[in-house]
A = this chain, B = another copy of it.
Amino acid sequence: MSGKVLSLKNRVPGMRREIDLAGLDFSNCPVRDMMQHIGGKWSTLLLEVLAARPCRFGELRRMLPDISQRMLTQTLRDLQRDGYIHREVFPTKPPSVEYSMTELGRSLYQPLSQLLNWAEANHEAVREARLRFDSAES
């Protein structure tokens, strides 16, 4: 809540934004709050699939073979709650449910996809770093 905010932008090259290093308050940090959800095991995966096209529940379940129904339901509900995806029930028998990206979700997907691209591009470097680390600590 309190604490002097000192802009590092002018001192540290490449700094992205103001960081409060003296009396930093991360407790009500919006970034952490949102990264919690985005960073969940299944969230990005679902956003990625739904960014391609709307999908129904069972379809998603079949696409992600190793997700439990419980976690699929829960992750979808979390994403819906945060306004990233839309849930629509069609009155078929039995009723079918379609999940699709919202505008907010699409706008999130832009920076997110950059990060995913980075991950894909640098996967090998990370794997090598892990090997180095694991062999060094033995």
Contact = CB atoms under 8 A, between A and B. Distances in A.
A63 B22 CA distance: 8
Contacts of A35: 39, 44, 115-116, 119
A21 interface: yes
A13 to B, nearest CB: 11
Number of copies of chain A assembled together:
2
A31 interface: yes
Interface residues of A, number: 65
A41 B30 contact: no
A93 interface: no
Interface in A4-33: 8, 12, 14-17, 19, 21, 24, 26-27, 29-33
Interface of A: 8, 12, 14-17, 19, 21, 24, 26-27, 29-36, 38-41, 43-45, 48-49, 51-53, 63-66, 80-83, 104, 106-120, 122-123, 125-126, 128-130, 132-134
6 closest A-B pairs by beta carbon, nearest first, are A39-B39, A83-B129, A30-B123, A16-B113, A111-B114, A111-B115
